[in-house]
Amino acid sequence: MAAPALKGRIDTALVGFLDAQGPVLAAVAPELAAVGGALSTFLLDGGKRLRPAFAYWGARGGGHPDGAQLVAAAASLELLQACALIHDDVMDGSDTRRGQPSMHRRFAAMHRDRSWQGDPDAFGTAAAVLLGDMCLIWGDRLLDTCGLPEPALRRARPVHDLMRTEVMAGQYLDLLEQVEGSDPGAGPVERAMRVARYKSAKYTIERPLHLGAALAGAAPALVSAYSSYGLPLGEAFQLRDDVLGVFGDPAETGKPAGDDLREGKRTVLVAAALDVATPAQASVVRRRWTWTGSTTCGRCWSTPARWTGWRRWSTSAPTLP
Three-state SS annotation for 96-137: EECCEECHHHHHHHHHHHCCCCCCHHHHHHHHHHHHHHHHHH
pTM: 0.83
Q: What is the pLDDT of residue 289?
A: 63
Q: What is the pLDDT of residue 187?
A: 76
> What is the enclosing helix (H) or strand (E) of 291?
strand 290-291
pLDDT > 70? residue 104: yes
pLDDT > 50? residue 307: no
The predicted-structure confidence for 221-280, as pLDDT tens digits, reads as follows: 999 999 999 999 999 988 998 888 788 888 777 766 776 776 667 788 888 888 888 888
The count of C-alpha atoms lying within 13 angstroms of the C-alpha of 172, restricted to the half-sphere facing its C-beta, is 5
- CA-CA distance, 175 to 169, in Å (whole number)? 10
**Average pLDDT, stretch 184-196?**
78
Question: What is the residue-averaged pLDDT of the chain?
Answer: 85
Range in 159-168, 201-210, 250-259 the model is least confident about? 250-259
- CA-CA distance, 305 to 34, in Å (whole number)? 36
Q: What is the pLDDT of residue 249?
A: 80
174 Cβ contact list (under 8 Å, min separation 6): 195, 199, 265
Higher pLDDT, 12 or 301: 12
Higher pLDDT, 103 or 275: 103
Higher pLDDT, 291 or 23: 23
Tell me how long the chain is: 321
- CA-CA distance, 240 to 218, in Å (whole number)? 31
pLDDT-based confidence at 297, cuts 50/70/90?
very low
Range in 61-65, 198-202, 275-279 the model is least confident about? 275-279
Instruction: Judge contact between 78 and 52, C-beta under 8 A.
Output: yes
pLDDT > 90? residue 317: no
pLDDT-based confidence at 63, cuts 50/70/90?
very high
Instruction: Judge contact between 122 and 139, C-beta under 8 A.
Output: no
Q: Which domain holds residue 247?
A: 3-319
Percent above pLDDT 70 for the chain: 84
Higher pLDDT, 208 or 245: 208
- Give whole-number Cα distances, 246 to 87, 89, 260, in Å: 20, 16, 7
Number of folded domains that form the chain: 1
> What is the enclosing helix (H) or strand (E) of 61?
helix 50-61
CATH at 19 = 1.10.600.10
> What is the enclosing helix (H) or strand (E) of 250?
helix 250-253
Q: What is the pLDDT of residue 268?
A: 85
pLDDT > 80? residue 302: no
